[in-house]
Structure formats: C-alpha cells, structure tokens
Amino acid sequence: MMDNSEISGSRFKLYLTSAIIIFVWGTAYTMVGYAVNFVDPAWVASFRTMLAALVLVAYVFIRGHKFPSLKEEVWLWYIALGFLGMAVPFYLIARGQVHVESGLTGILAGFMPLITIVLAHFLVAGERLSFRKFIGFLLGFVGIVILFMPDIDNLELVNNWRSQALIIIAAGCYASATIIAKRAPYIKPSVGAAMMAIAGAILSFIFALFSGIPDTVPPASAILAIFGLAVGSTGIANILFLRLIQETGPSFVARINYLVPICALVAGMIFLSEPFQWRSVIALIVVIAGLVVAGSAHKAPIASPSTRRTD
C-alpha cells in the first residue's frame, strides 16, 4: 500500500515527465521549421535520428545496460517503432513544414491522440472506444477539417493542403507507434529508445541518400536546431515517452498531447515570428475540446513503487 506522500510523489513525477515531454515535443516543430530553411527535409530527419542514436547509445553504455542479442525478436518490435515513430514521420513533418508554419504543424500533429484512441480500441486490451471517446474523435476531426476549409473568396482548399496532409499522415504514424510501444515486450526505456533511434537512423539515412548529398554547410543556428531536435525531442523525450507509456498506457500518453499544439503555436509566434491566425486558434480549440471530451472520464494510473520499472 502507498501512503499519501508516496502517491503525491508518484503523481508529481508523472506530471513533471509529462510537462517535459510537452515542452520538447512542442518546440520541436519550431526547430524543424527553422532548420528546413537551410537543410533538405530528408537530411533534417536523418541528422536528427543519427545524432539521437549516438546520444542514446552512449547513455545506455554509461548506465551499464546491454542491448539484446540481434537474434532476439524484440528487435523487430523496435525496428518497427524506429520506422513508424521516427524515420517516416520525421521526414513527412520536415517536408510538410517547408510550406506549413510550426504552430499549424503542432495542431495537425495534435490529431495523433485521437487516432491513437481509435486504434487502441481494436489493438489494446482495456482501451475500449466508448461513446465519449467517439464524440471526442469526431470533434477533433472537425477541428482538422477547419484547417482544410476553403477560403471565403474561393472554393478551393487551402494552398498548402498537400503539405498539411503529409503531417496528418505523420500523426497516424505516431499513433501506430504508440500502440506498438504498448504491445512490445518490456525493455528498459533507455535501451528501447536507443534501439528505436538506431533503426530510425539507418532508415532515415537511406531515405536521405535519394535526395542527394548536401553540398553546402548550413549556418551554425540551423546545426544547433538539429542538435536540439536530436538531444531533446528525439533523445530525452523518447526515453521519457517509453517510460511513461509503460507506466500508464497509450490513451494517457495521447491525452497529454493536447498541450503540445499550444506550445507549438506559442513557440512559433515567439521564435519564428509566425502570424496569428484565427483559423488556427479555432481549430486548436475544437481539437482540444475533442481531446478533453475523449479523455475526461479517465485518470492516469500510478504504478506502485514496488512494481515500477526504472531505467
């Protein structure tokens, strides 16, 4: 049995972890939006995952952990996570952000939690799609539709709808990775994150080769942005992500994402001078309303200290 201090401490760690993830994921779109001005999107994704892999592998060895044998089936799970959780969405988002502001990207990617809730209904025990969750999904879908709606003076979709669609597909990849992470065999979060990054780095590098070898050196600010992506949102965040999802579940991890678009929208306006748009704000409110409706009936479970797996 946990006493009140243990429960409070567990909840504090849970919400602190959630806050860190929200911040590094939200500002990731700002850094990508800046980096793609100087580096091809395929190489942004590749450099991001390769640097993250180096950082995470070093962290694993510093902690004294060991990787499983390459013959073990667990590698297949984490190769899939590296593909769906890093290589593909990193490229799609970077490609989309050539034409889409970072704040808008955060809103589009914010549809991921609602996709996760639907997928979890079919693929995760105990994560049934209730009427409340279904209504939340529909609200979120309406929010996304608002972003694609024609302008008042014509009947055509917004000019960057193709780039926005790439980001929606990336959100679906993230949702699929969340489900796979919950179903995957248990492994220490730092080791799992490193395995994801290794797979993602190899796959992203192969993708990048098809875009050609860079022939110029980007400015130091762009290099710093990519480094921040690698260490923060790809390295540290993935360790915390795997730890959080093992202790709670895909639906809780999905629900904390409703603050990520807000962080992305604010960061884009502050650091990239992106314009304030009412369409984005209205869509954000509707998407968040969907997330609140879908998740309001649930509380995050707290693992007992005696059973919690640590890194």
DSSP for residue 155: S
Task: From 34, 16, 54, 296, select the one nearest 193 (Cα to Cα).
Answer: 54
Strands (E), 118-262: none
Q: Which residue has the higher pLDDT, 18 or 172?
A: 172
What pLDDT shows up at residue 141?
Answer: 84
Please list the alpha-helical segments (H only) found in 229-307: 237-247, 250-255, 260-271, 278-295
pLDDT digit string, tens, across residues 76-90? 999 999 999 999 999
Q: 44-64 b/e with 16+ CB inside 10 Å = b?
A: bbbbbbbbbbbbbbebbeeee
Position 22 confidence tier, pLDDT thresholds 50, 70, 90: confident
Residue 117 has pLDDT above 90, yes or no: no
Query: What one-letter code names the amino acid at 85?
Result: G
Mean per-residue pLDDT, 257-266: 83
What does pTM read for this prediction? 0.82
The half-sphere exposure of 116 on its side-chain side, counting CA atoms within 13 A, is 31
Half-sphere exposure (Cβ direction) of 18: Cα atoms closer than 13 Å? 19
303 pLDDT band, cuts 50/70/90, is very low
Per-residue pLDDT of 188-222, as tens digits, reads: 888 998 999 999 999 999 999 998 998 889 999 99
Stronger pLDDT, 130 or 225, i.e. the higher one: 225
Closest CA to 117 of 98, 132, 103: 132
The C-alpha atoms of residue 267 and residue 278 are separated, in whole angstroms, by 17
- Better-scored residue on pLDDT, 174 or 146: 174
